[in-house]
Structure 1
Amino acid sequence: MATTLHACWRSTRPNFLVLAPLCAGLAVTSAWFDGATPAGLDILLVMLAAVLAHAAVNLFNEHHDFVSGLDITTTRTPFSGGSGALPENPAAAGAVWRSALSCLAGVVAIGAWFLWRAGPVMLLHGLVGLGLVVAYTGWLTRRPWLCLLAPGVGFGTLMVVGGYQALTGAFSVTALAASLVPMLLVSALLLVNQLPDIEPDRRAGRHHLAIVLGARPAARLVAALLLAGFAVIPLGWLGGWLPVQAWLMWLAAPAMLWLVRGLWRLPAEVEAGEFSSLVPLLGLNVALLLGSLGLLNLGLWLAA
């Protein structure tokens, strides 16, 4: 029993679940900046729904990759290739599947609460969100541009704009502008993390942009997405959608530029499947994403 529970926990990829509350946090800090005062329970539920949705995606992904046999062909890194929990404990596969369904049921229950509280607009967010959670691994990873956009829409548009509407019942240009940052940076994260898995994913029938473009062009697309994510701040500030305090995110700009330089100048060996030069960049990318979102949340909170 204990080993099964441990496998389920590992399959949620807990080290990465902090991303969800940072994204949903932008809904909260945007609401505070706009002068709203959402209830503490509502804030807690928005955060919980975000974490459960993220965990559900990871659990479904782990189960699918184990059942399909992809796990045994993937070279695992700290940032790609899954947790390895199910290859080490195959008997836990059913429990991981049930855990994914339980997380999804939790999201639906919280969504129903906000549908009652905030109105029918939440139905659209909920249906799109459920579609992304269920369809990502088995369907969206075979459609290159949808696969690129889906993570950004989930963590950006749905968690920030949808979370804001759940908390306030209204739409906000501040939340929309803030949502563009995770939309671009999270899509960049998922794309760059696919690079070490290009060949195993190709053999498993996937067809994402890393496969279509190849490793070096895909890495340069990641670099462009990172630059675009940081460009949101000056453009949002000039447009009057973001406060000057949002510029705090640019404290992470030196790390972003270093990462962009590294991605743009990846050696030709990556095309032959040699990814040792990429792994440090994957770690920097995770730190950059989490740090940038934390700084943006801080900026909006200070401006409130």
Structure 2
Amino acid sequence: MTAAASSTKAWLMAARPQTLPAGAAPVIVGTGLAVYHGVFAPLPALFALFGALLLQIGTNFANDYYDAVRGADTEDRDGFTRVTAGGLIEPAAVKRAMYATFGLSMVIGLYLVAVGGVPILVVGLASIVAGITYSGGPLPYGYRGLGDLFVFVFFGLVAVAGTYYVQAAAHGGWFPLWIPEGTLPAAAVVAGLPAAGFSTAILVVNNIRDRETDAEAGKHTLAVILGYRLSRIEWSLMAGLGYAIPVVFWLDGYPATVLLPLVTAPLAIAIGRTVWNRTDGEALNPALQRTGKLLFAHSVCFALGFAAPAVI
């Protein structure tokens, strides 16, 4: 393998493209709901997708860099290879890539801010700060048991509701100072609960796998604080949201097609068996990837469930 090919492979490992479907999933849900409510706007939806993916990659770079310099990534870790700790890329280069990616997300976000105004400006900047301070800064909240809350809020509720909002707001004037009436219904927030749950479930699997090494490194994730049993209950509750919320929408008068995500339940049950019975990377690394696939499949089904009646 050439040096250039090795370098490209290392950067792909740092960016973790396997996480991108998880970044796209909430945007898909928000867009499906926008179609159902008749406020779909293709350009804001596309920019929201690009912005979400860049935030995902930037956060991946940040975690790779800061976990390495803090000593949280050790040789005993069962997870996927980290390029900074593994010496594949110079730490300074990963740090520059992190800032460059977040900077590009801000450029993409200029259009979304023009459409969504001050609310999107605040949310966008908060998302970047949260992505960096998850494992960076003087008080990284991911080391204090707050990572699950960050993922639930930003990679679920905010991502889905924000995607819906910029499309609805695009039908009004430019740069609103506050949320225009009718652009952020409660349904847009509730629809984000399944993505929030599954996104958090991905982190829970990761933290169950790394519980022992994280504890030794002084990284107090929620799994370290709660222990295995309560962390597994957390995983089950987070996954359970994915199947309770479509039923809630159906009972609230939405068409039966919103129940389409229930077809993914067998996959969730299969992953759950692994999560409840294993702690090793050999089993949980595939479970981590499968939870990401579950999030994406569920989100596509949920979006189709919303959009289908409006387009057929």
TM-score range, shorter chain: 0.7 to 0.9
Equivalent residue in structure 1 for 2:299, among 290, 293, 301:
293
Classify 1:207/1:301 alpha carbon distance in 2 versus 1 (closer, same or farther; 3 Å).
same
Contact 1:12/1:58, CA 8 A, preserved across alignment: yes
Equivalent in the alignment of 2:34: 31
One-letter amino acid matched to 1:288: L
Equivalent residue in structure 1 for 2:23, among 20, 23, 36:
20
One-letter amino acid matched to 1:31: A
Counterparts of residues 178-217 of structure 1 (less than 5 Å) = 178-217=191-230
Which stretches in structure 2 are left out of the alignment for 5+ residues?
170-182
Q: Which piece of structure 1 moves more, 231-240 or 179-188?
A: 231-240
Equivalent in the alignment of 2:114: 116
Provide TM-score, normalisation by structure 2.
Answer: 0.85
RMSD: 2.2
% identity of equivalent residues? 26
Shift in Å at residue 211 of structure 1? 0.3
In structure 1, distance between residues paired with 2:264 and 2:71: 39
In structure 1, distance between residues paired with 2:23 and 2:275: 25
Shift in Å at residue 98 of structure 1? 1.2
Classify 1:154/1:74 alpha carbon distance in 2 versus 1 (closer, same or farther; 3 Å).
farther
Equivalent in the alignment of 1:245: 257
Contact 1:7/1:96, CA 8 A, preserved across alignment: no
Provide TM-score, normalisation by structure 1.
Answer: 0.87
Classify 1:75/1:48 alpha carbon distance in 2 versus 1 (closer, same or farther; 3 Å).
same
Q: Deviations over 1:85-137 (max 9, x none)?
A: 23444443222211111111122222232222222221332232122211112
Classify 1:8/1:94 alpha carbon distance in 2 versus 1 (closer, same or farther; 3 Å).
farther
Equivalent in the alignment of 1:131: 129
Equivalent in the alignment of 1:86: 84
Tell whether 2:171 aligns with 1:173: no
Classify 1:284/1:4 alpha carbon distance in 2 versus 1 (closer, same or farther; 3 Å).
closer
Shift in Å at residue 234 of structure 1? 0.6
Tell whether 2:246 aligns with 1:233: yes
Secondary structure of residue in 1 paired with 2:74: helix
Shift in Å at residue 262 of structure 1? 4.4
Which stretches in structure 1 are left out of the alignment for 5+ residues?
none
Equivalent in the alignment of 1:256: 268
Counterparts of residues 25-64 of structure 1 (less than 5 Å) = 25-38=28-41, 40-64=42-66
In structure 1, distance between residues paired with 2:131 and 2:49: 16
Counterparts of residues 62-77 of structure 1 (less than 5 Å) = 62-76=64-78
In structure 1, distance between residues paired with 2:286 and 2:23: 23
Contact 2:31/2:40, CA 8 A, preserved across alignment: no
